[in-house]
Amino acid sequence: MEEKEVKTTVSKKAKKRYNIYYLSMDEINKIITAAKSLRDQVVLKILARTGMRRFELCNLRIQDVDFEKKRIFIPKAKGDKARSVPTDPDTLQSIKFYISSRQYGKLIQSNKKNSDGIDESRINAIVKNTAKKAGITHPDPTKDSVNPHIFRHSFIRHLLKIGVPPNFVQQIAGHSDIRTTLQMYGIPSFTDIQEKYDEIAHTFYEDNNKTKTFNQKQ
């Protein structure tokens, strides 16, 4: 009787990916203010205020910006799915100044004559160099410098923190499953915990101004 080889499959649990570190809105605005050009400022504002991914920003065309409805259409998002994201008036105003009379082509242009549009490496450099100029470091001590993804991460965390419903955040972020939004961005950071603790710390004692005097004699 021949022995049959028994194949066993081991199911591996997917490793949860989440990052508890993020930049405050004050830190993000300091970086935006430190931009050396209008183009760099537009790049930073779009990343910080829409949660857009680098490659999504690279693929944007001028006609993807709807100034009337205050939104940006992303024709090629993750998974080749299109979506739209709301945009604030200040960012739209900066975009208007930046594109000037241009009506077609890539929204963010490259400084290279033979290149139509900015690439991801240039976006990395803009974020890294401008953050350094502003004196802002990555909140994660294991990271050497500020990168574009921390803008997206901070934006999504900020939306959840101020009470925007998770299903709204899911649509803006372009997550196909709301569990991704909650698993990746719903874990509270120590800053969040500290802020909440400070709010309720007074409940641990009766009067902060009264300090009990202890008899030191033994």
Query: pLDDT value at position 208?
Result: 53
- Return the pLDDT at 10: 40
pLDDT at 217: 59
Q: How many domains does the chain have?
A: 1
Q: Catalytic: 157?
A: no
Q: Is 149 a catalytic residue?
A: yes
Q: What's residue 201's pLDDT?
A: 86
Q: Note whether residue 97 is domain-resident.
A: yes
Choosing from 39, 49, 53, 106, the catalytic residue is 53
Indicate whether 210 belongs to any domain.
no
Indicate if 175 belongs to the active site.
yes
Which tokens is 36 given? 């050396």
CATH number at residue 151: 1.10.443.10
Distance (Å, whole) CA 44 – CA 152: 11
Q: Determine which one of 132, 133, 149, 161 is catalytic.
A: 149
Which position among 54, 106, 152, 158 bears the catalytic label? 152
pLDDT for 218? 54
152 domain residue, yes or no: yes
User: Does residue 202 sit within a domain?
Assistant: no
Question: Is 185 within the bounds of a domain?
Answer: yes
Catalytic residue among 39, 54, 122, 175: 175
Q: Point out the catalytic residue in the list 71, 78, 83, 161.
A: 78
Q: Quickly count helices (H) and strands (E) in the chain.
A: 9, 3
> Could you give the CA distance from residue 132 to residue 135 in angstroms, rounded to a whole number?
5
Helix ranges (H only) for 51-200 are: 54-58, 89-99, 120-134, 148-161, 166-173, 178-185, 190-200
pLDDT of residue 78: 79
Range of the domain at 139: 25-189
d(CA 146, CA 150): 7
Per the annotation, the verdict on 83 as an active-site residue is no
Low-confidence ranges of the chain (pLDDT < 70): 1-19, 113-114, 206-218
- The answer to whether position 215 is within a domain reads no
Is 99 part of any domain?
yes
**Known catalytic residue: 22?**
no
Say which residue the tokens 């004050």 belong to.
26
| Residue 174 covered by a domain | yes
Among this protein's residues, is 17 annotated catalytic?
no
